[in-house]
Every structure is written in C-alpha cells, then in structure tokens.
Structure 1
Amino acid sequence: MPHGLTLEEILAELENHQESDDEDDDMELAIIPPDADVITDEEDIGGNVLNNESGAESGMLSTKKYECKWYKCQPTYTNTSEPGKSNEHYVAECLANKTVPHVFEDFFSEKLMDTIIEQSEIYACQHNKINFLITKEELKSFIVILLLSGYHKLPHENMYWKQAPDVGVSLVFNSMSRNRLWEMKRFIHLNDNSKLDRNDKMYKLRLYFEMLKKEFGKCGVFHSELSIDEMMVRYYGKHSAKIFLRGKPIKFGYKIWCLTSSNGFLHNFSPYCGMARLTTNRSL
C-alpha cells in the first residue's frame, strides 16, 4: 500500500482489495502518529460547527444547552481521626483525661514560654537591666496572677498582698512578691525592638500572635459550623490600631477578626490594623 494516505483513501483501498480475486495478496496496514505541529482530522473542525444545527443534520456531532440546577445539600468533611469517630469526638477523647491546667499548657506550650522569657531578657538588657532573669515557674505564676485579677477584682493592686482577711489573697502573696511582679510587668516583652517593623502596627505582638495561632490550629478544624466575626478587646490608651465603634458594648479598643466554631473554640484570629494591613495580610 502506498505511504501517506488519508483515512478515506485507506478505506477505499481496503474495499478494492476485498473485491479483487487475488486472495493470496496480503496487505500490511500501519497507522503512524502525526507530527506535533500537524493538525489531525479530529482537530480540523471549526469551533462553531458543534453548535450549528445544520451540522447535526449532516451527521456531525452537536451539543445541547443544558440548564444547571443547584440543590442544597450537607457538605462532607474528611478528618484524620479513627474510623467511625468524628474529629470533634477524637479531640475530646485526647483531652478527656487532662486537668484544666494541663489543657492550658497544651496551648500555652513550652516553646511559647521560652520565647517570652528570651524576648523579655533581651528587652531588659536593652534597658541596662543585665541581671534580670525569669524562670518558667515565675512566668507561670505571673500568668496565674494576671488571670486571677481578671475575675477577682480589688480596688487597688497592692491589696492582693495585704494581710487583712477581707482583701488579702494567699494564692498571690505566697507565689510571688509585689516588687517582683512589678518588675516582671515592666520588662515582660514579646518581640525584639531592635528589629522593629514600623509598617506593622502590631509588630510587638506579631511573633506572639503567630505562635499562638499555631497552637490553636494544631487540633485542626474539628467542627462543621464555623463563623467569622469581629470581637473587641477593651483598651483606652494611645495606639494607632485602636478604633472606635459606635453602638457597641465595647466602644474603644482593638478589633480582632476571629474564626470560631459554634462550641466556642477559636481556630484562627487576626487583629485589624487598618485597610493597608488588611490588604497585605489575609491570615484568615
């Protein structure tokens, strides 16, 4: 058979061969792929032919326009938990045998405490307080006192160390002296001032925020009902990121965008620092 025949010419040759009387004459047929830059018969079709009704009448392929109908259905989620258990139940089982302090330490990790201690000692050295050192036990006591003062309020901070039975708190004055607490409040720091990024209004808290988000996100998103909304942190001092929201229970403070579940767990968050920061940093 000659070389370089088209498909129609090959079919014609086969028909002629079947009609011939010479049955011993074998025919060898080989289909060689075309070169990469050659348009084949299947590709040499106009794009409008498939949508042309006259093309359908002539035996060509045609397409019909179908309307897409959308149906509301429950989404499916994948998780890394054991078969037959939801991710939420898996996390609950992991934390079931732990006390409240142990759960707190799972999120406020050793690495986070080491970073706070390191940055605080650097900040103290920058202010000529070379002998300032913090241990992890002191840092834990410091955090406990701050949390306690949030719901056990007294008219003045000095009253926590008073010996009077109506104001003194033994948990406070037995764990840390008043002067030591004031010293730690003065030098506690979360990021290095020598590397200050003046374009980031939250630079002094940025390292702490990023590490804290990793700790909150290590359990994954284990709930299907999520919400992204704003929350306010009350603050009346001077800061460029402080905003005013009229008609809100907390009118002055920092606005933080939060990704939370219906059971109250915080999966992710991002402090609002203005439109310029919002367009360059989309962490949620």
Structure 2
Amino acid sequence: MDRPIDLKLVGGLTLDEFLHSLEDTGTDFPEGTEIAVLPPINACDPVTDEDSGDEDFVNVNNLPGSQLLAEAEIFHNFDPLQIIFSPRPSPTPVRSPEPVKVNDNEYTSEDDLTLAEIRSRMKKTKSAKSGPIKRHYKWKKRDIEPPNIEIPLVHNVVNNNSPLELFDFFWDEEIINMFLGCSNLYASQHNKPANITKEEILNFFAVLLISGYVHVPRRRMFWENTADAHNNLVSNAISRDRFEYIFRNIHCCDNASLDKTDKFTKVRPLIKKINYSFQRFAPLQENHSVDEAMIPYFGRHGAKQFIRGKPIRYGYKFWTGAIDSGYVVWIEPYQGAKSEIKVQYRELGLGPSVVLQYAETLLSIRSYPYHIFCDNFFTTIPLTDELKKMNIRLTGTIRENRTSNCNLVSTAEMKKKERGNLDYKSNENGTVVVKWHDNSCVSLASNGVPVYPLYSVNRFSVKEHKK
C-alpha cells in the first residue's frame, strides 16, 4: 500500500472522473480492495455509445459511456470502507451505510451442510408446520357416559303461507334492490341506459325460475310464435330484447370494489344475504348435518370442480349445513387451495374447520344442545375435542388413519368374524371410536353417543332379496 485513499477525493465523482483523478494524483488502492461495478442503465438496450478503441486491450479510455456513468462500490476486506460512486450534483462526499461485520466465532455446524441438505430440512419443516396438528391420547377399552342434556321443547309452527310468500322470505326486497342498483350502475359504467326498473327485475327472475323446469334448447324459443315453443307467461311478462339487456347487465356488486382473493367475489353479497335469511327463519332443531353439495355448471370458472362417482360430477362445490328435514341453514362455496380458513382453525385442517364454522353459526343463532353429523372427510379426534368445548356433540364416520393411534382390531381380522361384530375404545376426553362390521368395516367417532346399549334395526339383504 503506497498511501490510503482520500475520501474527499471521490465525493460527487463518477467512476470515469474518479479513475482519472487517481491517475493524476498517483493514488493507489490498498491491497485487498475490491471494486464492484454495477450494470449500466441501458444494460438491456442496444449499445449505441461504444468506444472505437481496440477490443483486445480494454482500458478506461475505450469503455462505453454508459458503463463509465454506472454506480460502483469499493470493498476493503469487508471493513466499513464502502464508497458508492454515482453522478451527483453536489460535491459533498457520501459514505454508504456500513455493511454487517462477519464474526468468525459465530461458526455453526450448519455451515458445512450442502445446499441439497438445507433444502431437504426446509421442506420437512414446512410440511410439519402446514399439516394438521397431532395430539396424543390414552385409549382404553371402555364406553363413554351419555351426556346429561335436557332438550328444550320446541313448539311446532304451523305453516299457512303461500309459495310466493315463502319465496319472499328468502328472496326479499333487499336482494331485489341490491340487484337493481348494481345492475343500473354496471350499465351506466359501460355507457348504456341505466333504466332497469324493479318490476323488470322481478319478471327477469320469474323467467329464470320458469326455465328451471321448462327446458328449451335456446332461451329465445320462449318468445317464438311456434305453438310448440311459445310461452305465454314469459312473453306477456317481459319482451325478449329487454330480458337479454338485463341478462347482459345483471350484477349484485360494484366491480370497482372487488376482492381479488375471492373467486366468488361477484356473488359474495348475495351469498351473505341468503345465509342471513336462511338462519333468520331456520327451525330450531337438535340434529344437524354438514356435507358437500354440488351445483351443476359446465362452463369455465376457476372454482369449478370435478368429483368422480357423484350424481353431479361437474359444477361448484358448496359446504352445506342443514337439518334432518332438508332445510339448509348455511352455505359456503369451496374455492380449492384458496379456500379461506380462520386462523384459529388452520391447524385442524380444512374439513374440521368447515364443521367449526358451522358450529359458530349455530351458536350465533341460539344457544342449544346441537348434535352435528358428518362423514369421514370432516371427522377427526381433535375436532371432537374442540366441539366439546363449545358444548356441541359430534358423531361421524372416521378414516382409520385419523383415529389418533386408537388401536382397534384390524380390518382384515374383523372381516373374518361374523356380521355385527364390533370393537371400541375411548380416551380421557370422552371421545369413543368404534369399528363395526357391516357390509364392510366402518369406523365411527363420537363425543356424545355411547356404544351401548345396542339396538336391532331392519335392513335389506341383497343375497336374500328381502328385509
């Protein structure tokens, strides 16, 4: 090292000016000093300001001007000597923030790991965090005690309303006004007349209801003059062109304020209002069921599902909560991997989180000793614990790999025994798991129904073709 760099020398200079200043003053870089030159501003553009010097002997005299005007950094053995050169109008010297010092004493064994080993560890950690929680239970051969619950008497309500009055309970005036305002707003945003009236909206939905059970190949056939296609109800209620105008502009939300993370954002206001109406008039009953329901759809949409073996294979899948009479209390569309799960339920998984959301909905209506039934997609042992804290009973079929290490008789061994054979165990939290030999081996879990006493029921025998 001849002499140290004078910081005052480089203040406000470009790389070109700084290098020439070093030549004029005879200043040398200290040993170990590194210079990092950043790419030029037009690095991705065609170079138009190249110097005509010899390309085999490149020096500061024949570098492109864009490179000479680029920023550069000086590093000296990772010490705080770090100077940034950039074209500045002010001659004031600028020192960049000091880099983080590396302490040789902070060596760990992970420094010797290969990149493949580090990636493998990251994948294991990520999969462990993203999966459902695993709780440990102590299982014993014992039955649970039936809960001491008093079911309040519910008076039967006599329904004397007409079908139109029942329809108005759910498709009320608030929903009609929502469609009316948003449809006129959408039409005005596209420079079309915003003159849709309330009567036309009602007639529009009436035509949609009729088309649900009067099927024609094309919608326009309702207004044809041929006797086999013409429909007097439709043609007398609304003209064809007016129906198609409303059909092109029908909306229930403002497109200027959409939630891009929600695939059903354009119908989310309607889903919320329908759920409110469902729960407002829901009969108060003990037994509820949670399952999936398919709405047929064959078009293109990011949330369309295909479920093999179902009566409706293509369409939208909705989580549905209903009572034993078929009355729907709550619906929520399934959005695939982007389905929203509440933070407090994420560790339990998708299926249990759906049941817990429905349980919260029931408790928001009224406190009551509810009993929820579901299939093996939803049922887990941690779910029974969470519902018991909410004073809600759960009974459902359960997959054998979700029994939280409840060691029952194996399926292969149980199939060798006669029909009706069973095995069961319960844990310290009051959840019982039972495996039953029916047409095949079925496992069930419950936090509110004991195994005994057993009852006889009628069944249809396929072999004997009789009950």
TM-score (norm 2): 0.42
Match of 2:216 in 1: 154
The correspondence for 1:72, drawn from 125, 140, 146, is 146
Q: Which amino acid aligns with 1:114?
A: N
Per-residue CA shift, 1:157-200, capped at 9, x if unaligned?
Answer: 12111222222110000000000110010000011110111111
Q: Does the 8 Å contact 1:233/1:254 carry over to 2?
A: yes
Match of 1:111 in 2: 174
Q: Which amino acid aligns with 1:70?
A: I
Match of 1:55 in 2: none
Change over 3 Å in CA distance of 1:180–1:223 after alignment to 2: same
Secondary structure at 1:268 match in 2: strand
Match of 1:233 in 2: 295
Q: Which amino acid aligns with 1:158?
A: R
For 1:195 and 1:70, the matched residues in 2 are separated by 52
Match of 1:204 in 2: 266
Share of identical aligned residues, percent? Answer: 33
For 1:141 and 1:118, the matched residues in 2 are separated by 16
The correspondence for 2:320, drawn from 249, 253, 258, is 258
Per-residue CA shift, 1:46-87, capped at 9, x if unaligned?
Answer: xxxxxxxxxxxxxxxxxxxxxx97323685445xxxxx6x25
Q: Which amino acid aligns with 1:147?
A: L
Q: Which amino acid aligns with 1:179?
A: D
Match of 2:186 in 1: 123
For 1:74 and 1:144, the matched residues in 2 are separated by 50
Match of 2:99 in 1: none
Secondary structure at 1:279 match in 2: coil
For 1:225 and 1:236, the matched residues in 2 are separated by 34
User: Which structure 2 residues correspond to residues 13-28 of structure 1 after superposition, within 5 A?
Assistant: none
User: Which structure 2 residues correspond to residues 211-250 of structure 1 after superposition, within 5 A?
Assistant: 211-250=273-312
For 2:150 and 2:186, the matched residues in 1 are separated by 49
Q: Which amino acid aligns with 1:98?
A: N
Answering whether residue 159 of structure 2 is matched by residue 100 of structure 1, we say: no
> Which stretch of the first structure deviates more once superposed, 244-253 or 170-179?
244-253
Q: Which amino acid aligns with 1:101?
A: L
Q: Which amino acid aligns with 1:97?
A: N
The correspondence for 1:134, drawn from 193, 196, 220, is 196
For 1:280 and 1:238, the matched residues in 2 are separated by 28
TM-align CA RMSD? 2.1
Q: Which amino acid aligns with 1:71?
A: E
Cα offset, 1:107, TM superposition: 0.9
For 2:182 and 2:150, the matched residues in 1 are separated by 44
Cα offset, 1:223, TM superposition: 2.3
| Structure 1 residues without counterparts, runs of 5 or longer | 1-67, 79-83
Q: Which amino acid aligns with 1:236?
A: F
The correspondence for 1:164, drawn from 220, 223, 226, is 226
Cα offset, 1:259, TM superposition: 0.5
For 2:275 and 2:202, the matched residues in 1 are separated by 20
Q: Does the 8 Å contact 2:320/2:328 carry over to 1?
A: yes
> Which stretch of the first structure deviates more once superposed, 159-168 or 228-237?
159-168
Per-residue CA shift, 1:128-152, capped at 9, x if unaligned?
Answer: 11x2222222111111110111111
Change over 3 Å in CA distance of 1:77–1:109 after alignment to 2: farther
For 2:259 and 2:274, the matched residues in 1 are separated by 20
For 1:73 and 1:217, the matched residues in 2 are separated by 27
Answering whether residue 262 of structure 2 is matched by residue 188 of structure 1, we say: no
Secondary structure at 1:174 match in 2: helix
> Which stretch of the first structure deviates more once superposed, 162-171 or 194-203?
162-171
Change over 3 Å in CA distance of 1:75–1:176 after alignment to 2: farther
Q: Report how many aligned residue pairs link the two structures.
A: 205
For 1:75 and 1:134, the matched residues in 2 are separated by 54
Match of 1:50 in 2: none
Secondary structure at 2:330 match in 1: strand
For 1:157 and 1:277, the matched residues in 2 are separated by 34
Q: Which amino acid aligns with 1:127?
A: H
Change over 3 Å in CA distance of 1:153–1:71 after alignment to 2: same
